[in-house]
Amino acid sequence: MLPTKEKLYEIIFEADTKSGKIFDITLLVIILLSILLVMLESVPSIENQYHQLLRISEWAITIIFSIEYILRIWIVRHSKTYIFSFYGIIDFLSVLPTYVALFFAGTQGLMVIRALRLLRVFRILKLNRYLKESAIIIRALKQSRIKISVFLFAVITLVIIIGTIMYLIEGAENGFTSIPRGIYWAIVTLTTVGYGDISPATPLGQLLASMVMIMGYAIIAVPTGIVTAELSKHNHPNISTQVCPNCLSEGHAHGAKYCSNCGSKLN
């Protein structure tokens, strides 16, 4: 590997050095700009008024992204690994639409895939102090994975049953035109979103809906309780800051007199 290539690798793929951080943040700003651009293009009134400016900006960003993409392929040791990785595919797809639009009309819609580049934002989490805090959240979510699966399982079963019953009670004349629509209503209600695009009209339906709402009120306590209990686990007041003078192990309880790892006396 050439020294230049190695240095570029550090800048583009890593975030430990100062220039690496600058690159990451600059890229993030450009990604945010590119997303803002896609958003503005989707607003008809803005698109009509600033058509020329938006076209130029789009090409500018596409060219920057293309250079970045080519650099990444050139620099990385195993090009194929990058090209077929999750980020590699997104990087490719986010430059494609502008070029394809030269030949075919109507492919601008694909530009929205650029929003997925926003996921790179999470690389910034690797920077300094965000790392530890986000790790705590992610670990808590991972550890409550099974509990949350069981919970979602129960909720899905519940909304299918409730949605089916409501379809029978209310029927098509009150907007519950099919069972899937009844289930959609049950989810809207149980999660306390409550659009109001479908709402029960019969007294019996309203009684059942009231019960579902109060249930939803109590059910929301479950995921909250799961995540909170998990996050609170790291709240241990009983772990002292003592370090064993013999084996250097940590995490001893307050009041511990002997190291729980090697058995030598603690201070």
67 vs 204, which CB is nearer to its own copies? 204
| Of 58 and 230, CB closest to its own copies | 230
Residue 82 beta carbon to its own copies: minimum distance, rounded to whole angstroms:
22
Of the pair 70, 137, the CB lying nearest its own copies is at 137
Nearest approach, Cβ of residue 9 and its own copies (Å)? 26
Smallest separation (angstroms) from its own copies to the CB of 124: 9
CB of 62 to its own copies, least distance (A): 18
Minimum gap (Å) between residue 169 Cβ and its own copies: 11
Residue nearer to its own copies on the CB measure, 63 or 207: 207
Give whichever of 75 and 208 is closer to its own copies, judged by the CB atom. Answer: 208
H/E/C letters for each residue in the chain?
Answer: CCHHHHHHHHHHHCCCCHHHHHHHHHHHHHHHHHHHHHHHHHCHHHHHHCHHHHHHHHHHHHHHHHHHHHHHHHHCCCHHHHHCCHHHHHHHHHHHHHHHCCCCCCCHHHHHHHHHHHHHHHHHHHCCCHHHHHHHHHHHHHHCHHHHHHHHHHHHHHHHHHHHHHHHHHCHHHCCCCHHHHHHHHHHHHCCCCCCCCCCCCHHHHHHHHHHHHHHHHHCHHHHHHHHHHHHHHHCCCECCCCCCCCCCCCCECCCCECCCCCCECC
Q: Which structure tokens are listed for 78?
A: 């195993």
Select 93 or 125, whichever has its Cβ closest to its own copies: 125
**Shortest distance, position 8 Cβ to its own copies, whole Å:** 27
Q: At its nearest, how many Å lie between its own copies and the CB of residue 183?
A: 8
Q: Rounded CA gap, 207 and 200, in Å?
A: 9
Q: Helices 179-190 and 145-170, interaxial angle, to 10°?
A: 120
Give the residue with the Cβ less far from its own copies, 1 or 214. Answer: 214
